[in-house]
Amino acid sequence: MNWSALWLSVQVTTIATVCITAFGLALALLLTRVRLPGHIVIETLLLLPLVLPPSVIGYYLLLALGRGSPLVEWFNVRILFTWPAAVVAATVVGLPLMIQSSRAALANVDPVLENAARTLGSSEWRIFWQITLPLARRGILAGVILGGARALGEFGATLMVTGNIPGRTQTLPVAIYDAVQARRYADAHLMVLVMTGMAFAGLLWVRWLEPPPQRARRETRSDAVEE
């Protein structure tokens, strides 16, 4: 078992999940509550990482983080082939899941309740924290878990922007690939089981967060089909 790769993956995933939560929730609120010019185009661009191949995402990240980019030329920030680049890659691929789940949850919040709070003199910030967020918490938390799980499993784009440096940039998915290439199948089996268990736990948690009425309707439809 490659413990350094596991620890690095946990570190990268934790930081990426924080970024996914902050940016994803802000973007979901923006898309739900503000009608921007080119709204559909903006939303489509944000969701592109869901369908683009990892090599394409990695190439775009190389352009954004590499030599000649504003990040390097203006701010002298060089993170290619370091673990922070893995955080950027994980955040980019996990962000669309957070946006989609949070946006759906926020759209389902009854505006009557928010308007009633406004008539009572509540500020928008207080309405968000005391009404909107609690009512949308299931969908938002599901987005956090799904985005974090996707960040944990990121491989292709990460490999392109960080390389494969054991102990420095080698995350668990990259370590699995490295073990298979070196025919260290026992190590690969163990790491695959760990990744599978973590992914299963995340998806199971999302399933438990599903609203009871929706779950009941799904079970009812399943029974009807079986009959």
Per-residue pLDDT of the chain (227 residues; tens, 9 = 90+): 788 999 999 999 999 999 999 999 999 999 988 887 888 899 999 999 999 999 999 999 999 998 888 888 888 889 999 999 999 999 999 999 999 999 999 999 888 888 888 888 888 888 888 888 999 999 999 999 999 999 999 999 999 999 898 889 999 999 999 999 999 999 999 999 999 999 899 888 888 877 665 444 454 444 434 44
pTM confidence score:
0.86
Side chain identity, residue 215:
R
Q: How many domains does the chain have?
A: 1
Q: So what's the pLDDT on residue 216?
A: 45
Domain ranges, residue 72: 3-226
CATH value at residue 125 = 1.10.3720.10
Residue 77: predicted pLDDT: 87
